[in-house]
Amino acid sequence: MGSRVIQLTDIHLVPRQQRVSKVLDTYTLFEQAIEKIADDLPRLGQVDAIVVTGDVSDHGDEESYRDFHAIISRLNLPYVVIPGNHDKREAMVSAIDGLSVCGETGELNSVYPLSAFDIIALDTVIPGSGAGALSDNTLAFLESALATDLEKPALITMHHPPFDSGIQFMDNIGLKGRDDMARILAQSPREKRVICGHLHNSIVCNIGNATVLSAPGVASSFLTDYRDDAPVGFTQDPGGYMVHDWSHGFRSTYVSLSRHGGLFAF
């Protein structure tokens, strides 16, 4: 029996009437994304959950998290939320049901079992920083989670990518601890896929015997620009979401959030 999840990332929600960087109406953009996904669902088959890989809010305010819950609930699907560098853990826990801190560190690490695979959610947030880190606590959590049910595949979810993207201004706020993560992944015999956000761009890499990929953002897009002096900023190009499923192996599919112009027969 297979399982299937939708991945959303980098929503950067602000309350209605506000704008991110005086440009992005992320409230309306998120509503439009959910409407597009609702239209897509009949074509996707059974979806077990939505995984949101961070930067749910732009400022980390409780109002944005309450708006997030109200809007995403229109899909009538369970959802898993991982914090990003724009998020604030305390506000997330207060406003979103089902979130709880892991131990004394306050990190939001958790495991969500589906029939075909486990979702292992990792918190990479450094409070007050755009960069991320896999703390000793989070690395121990990952190692322990992977050590259970070795026959079951694992979808490992996080915000910061455990690889260099080539986009300099994003790599400057990258992830610490990724070598330790690669070692843990390499030592585990489980089938694994790692998914992340942060880059507002879709990139596929390998780490520690696992495929890892970043998903496009909902709020905006970042250019693929490998120059050392690449300009810092975003575009309003249409973003997208990912569909990850398992049936004799992981499969990950990009779906655009732009509306298509119609279907034409061959």
C-alpha dihedral (79, 82, 87, 92), degrees to nearest 10: 50
| Within-domain flag for 263 | no
Pairwise CA distance, residues 138 & 107, whole Å: 8
| Within-domain flag for 117 | yes
Residue 203 belongs to domain spanning: 3-256
In contact, 239 and 217? CB cutoff 8 Å = yes
Nearest to 85 by CA among 119, 53, 112, 109: 53
| Within-domain flag for 115 | yes
| Within-domain flag for 98 | yes
| Within-domain flag for 264 | no
Pairwise CA distance, residues 242 & 151, whole Å: 25
| Within-domain flag for 148 | yes
Q: At what angle do helices 136-146 and 178-187 cross, to 10 degrees?
A: 10
Pairwise CA distance, residues 24 & 21, whole Å: 7
For position 102, what pLDDT does the model report? 64
Distance of CA 109 to the CA centre of its chain: 14
In contact, 218 and 9? CB cutoff 8 Å = yes
For position 262, what pLDDT does the model report? 79
Cβ atoms within 10 Å, residue 240: 21
Phi, psi of 245, rounded to the nearest 5 degrees: -140, 165
| Within-domain flag for 261 | no
The domain total for the chain is 1
For position 263, what pLDDT does the model report? 80
For position 111, what pLDDT does the model report? 95
| Within-domain flag for 64 | yes
For position 85, what pLDDT does the model report? 97
Q: What is the pLDDT along the chain (266 residues), one digit of tens a residue?
A: 689 999 999 999 999 999 999 999 999 999 999 999 999 999 999 999 999 999 999 999 999 999 999 999 999 999 999 999 999 999 999 998 777 666 667 899 999 999 999 999 999 999 999 999 999 999 999 999 999 999 999 999 999 999 999 999 999 999 999 999 999 999 999 999 999 999 999 999 999 999 999 999 999 999 999 998 899 999 998 899 999 999 889 999 999 999 877 788 88
Residue 236 tokens, joined = 């309003």
For position 190, what pLDDT does the model report? 96
DSSP track, 154-178: EEEE-SS-SS--S-HHHHTT-EESH
Pairwise CA distance, residues 68 & 123, whole Å: 19
Query: What is the CATH classification number for the domain harbouring 224?
Result: 3.60.21.10
